[in-house]
Amino acid sequence: MGKSTKKIMKTLTRSIKIFILILSLFVNTSQIYAQDSNSVLKVLWQKEFSGGEGISCIPHEARIGTAGNSLFITGTSFRPKTYTDGKFWLWEIGQNDGNEIRRNVLKETTKDRSSAIGIGAWVAKGLKVTNDGKIYTVGKFGDSTQSFLKTNRDGTSISVKSVYDSSLDEGDNTIWRMIDLPDGNFFLIGRDRNSKSLVIKVDAEGNRLWKRTYEAGKISLFTDCVPVGNKGDFVIVGWSSETGGERAIEELTDIRILKCNADGEKMSEVTFPGGSPGGHKSPQICQLDPGNFVVAYDKDATVMGTDYAIKVFNPSLEMLWEKPMAKSEGRMPLYFKIKAISGGGFVAAHCVNMYNIRVYKYDNDGNEIGKVFMDQINGFGDFSLECSEDKVFIVLPTIPENREYITKVKVIAIEL
């Protein structure tokens, strides 16, 4: 992707965020209801967490710790308008009551980098919390390059390692997501400087184990991945485009699903038509307990519009069924997330007009078995979705207060 395309995509992203902020200022009430009383998912609690007086907070990733009853959230904070006092945070929240257990500043930013937080360039790309309290994430934590961050639960021991190998002259690769693996290692997935889909495998210290690229069309990008089986195989999803340059964001894409072995060698691939690419329209994947895969993707041909559907594939990547999921109203952006549930089935959530959330529970065959609608919840825009064995968590920024652009971290817990 050329420099001109990058500038266009950055400008578009910033314009969308500004538009969201302005529109959301007019919303100030809260209401929760469900359409069908026979299938209501109960909202257990809602909490908001502040970064301090005059400080705005933006959440990034949410993850249940592999041991204990805590929900961990990464996010950034900064002073609006001046973009000073930038910090990268880790919150620990109790699952059952929503009480804050602790929060730590993982990194502080210099003034020249704080502005990047304000426009979302420092968003973390994945999060893992281990049984012994180690925290892993990927993002931009001190300079303009993406890095692998490792710390402990109380934030007293922090190491940051660049994702890139300077000796290989890799340039400006894009890491879209960190995927934690059963063997304790990680995948860093995205796109390389030559617009090829990228997978880098690193160990728990951030040391590179191997790197592979997968070419398709003129531009391709991996956006989500799940490990499968006990041999190190994985299934990865993304998109590709036959159009290069400035027209790339205005053309239809192909959705790509690859199944690869532990060394990253492609074993099989499936492609099908998708919509126009965009950060809020990225393909997602989760694995159901029977071993099948749910792939969520957008079909809308316009940059702003979204029309999400899911396709379900068996372990051989043969499609079993498909289902429409959520369509944006007018040309408003729609954010959509899926997550597998322990014991079978999955949860799908999306926003309507950016600040109304719909949460649905499905069984393995795509039958709806529960839902809750949350309207005007004092939250807006993109959100994180996480599931424990018996709860769903929605994490999102609150609507800016008093036109001073002060936002907080809002967490909603829903009973499964």
- Residue 64 is classified by DSSP as E
- Sorted by sequence, the CB contacts under 8 Å of residue 178 that are 6+ apart come out as 125, 126, 127, 128, 136, 137, 138, 148, 186, 187, 188
| Residue 339 near residue 386 (C-beta atoms within 8 A) | yes
pLDDT tens, residue by residue, 62-71: 999 866 689 9
CA dihedral 195, 200, 342, 389 (to 10 degrees): -100
Task: Assign 115 to helix, strand or coil.
Answer: helix
pLDDT tens, residue by residue, 318-352: 999 999 999 987 777 789 999 999 889 999 999 98
Give 275-342 as a 3 state SS string. Answer: CCCCHHHCCEEEECCCCCEEEEEECCCCCCCCEEEEEEECCCCCEEEEEEEEECCCCCCCCEEEEECC
User: What does pTM read for this prediction?
Assistant: 0.88
Mean pLDDT of 215-236: 93
Q: Is the pLDDT of residue 188 over 70?
A: yes
How far apart are alpha carbons 40 and 179 in whole angstroms? 32
The b-or-e profile of 332-349 (16+ CB within 10 A means b, else e) is bbbbbbbbbbeeebbbbb
Return the bridge partners of 393, or none: 386, 413
Mean pLDDT of 284-288: 96
How confident is the model at residue 72, as a pLDDT? Answer: 95
Element of type H or E holding 24: helix 3-24
**List of domains in the chain:** 3-278+379-415 (2.40.128.630)
Quickly state the pLDDT bin for 137 (edges 50, 70, 90): very high
| Residue 183 near residue 206 (C-beta atoms within 8 A) | no
